[in-house]
Structure 1
Amino acid sequence: MSDVSLFLELFHFIRPWLLVLLPLVALLWWRVRRRLGKSRLPEAHISPHLARALTVGQDGASRLLPIDGVALGLILICLGAAGPTWSRVPDPFVAQTAPLVIALKVTPSMQNRDLAPTRLERAKQKVRDLLALRSGARSALVAYAGTAHAVVPMTEDPNVLQPYLEGLQVDVMPDEGNATAAALELARAIMEKETAAGGILFVTDDISGADVAALNGYQGASLAVLATLPQGTGSAGLDALTIPVEQVSVDDSDIIRLDRRLNAAYRRALAEDGDQPWDDRGWLLAWPAALLALIWFRRGWTMRWGAVALAGLLLPAQPSRAEGIADWFLTPDQQGQIAYGRRHFDRAGELYLEPMHKAYALYRDGQYPAVTEALAGLDSADAAFLSGMAHIKNRDYRDAIEDFQTALERDPDFPGAAGNLEVARKIVDYVEEAREQSDTGENTGEGADDVVFDNEDARGADTQIQGGDDAAELLTADQWMNTVDTNTGDFLRQRFAIEAARR
Structure 2
Amino acid sequence: MSAFWNALHFLRPHWLWALLALPLLAWWWRVQRHRLNAWQGHVDAHLLQHLLVRGGGAARAGMIVAALAYALAVLALAGPSWRQGDQPLWQAQRPLVVVLDLSSRITTSDLPPSRLLQARAKLARLLDARAGSPVALVAVADDAFTVAPMTDDAANIRLYLDELSPEIMPVDGQRADRGIASAARLLAQADFRNGDILVLTDQAGDGAANAAAEARAQGYLVSVLGLGTAAGAAYRSNDGTIGHAALDASSLRAMAAAGGGRYEPATPDNGDLAALGVASPALETVGASATPGGGKAWRDEGYWLLIPLMALALLWFRRGAALILVGALWLPMASPAQAAGIDWWQRGDQATHARLEKGADAYRQGDYPTAEQAFNGIDTAEGQYNLGNALAKQQRYDDAVAAYDRALRLQPGMADAVANRAAVDAARKRPPSPGDGQGKPGQQGSGDQASSGAKGDPSEGKKAGQPQPASPSSQSASTPPSGKPGQAQAGKDAQPPRTPPKASPDPAAQAAADAAQRERMRAAVGEQKGSRTQPASKDAAATQAETAEQRERRQAVDAWLRRVPDEPGSLLKAKFRLEYERRQKEGR
TM-score, normalising length: structure 1: 0.43
Give the number of the structure with larger relative contact order, counting CA–CA contacts within 8 Å between residues 6 or more apart. 1
Larger radius of gyration: 2
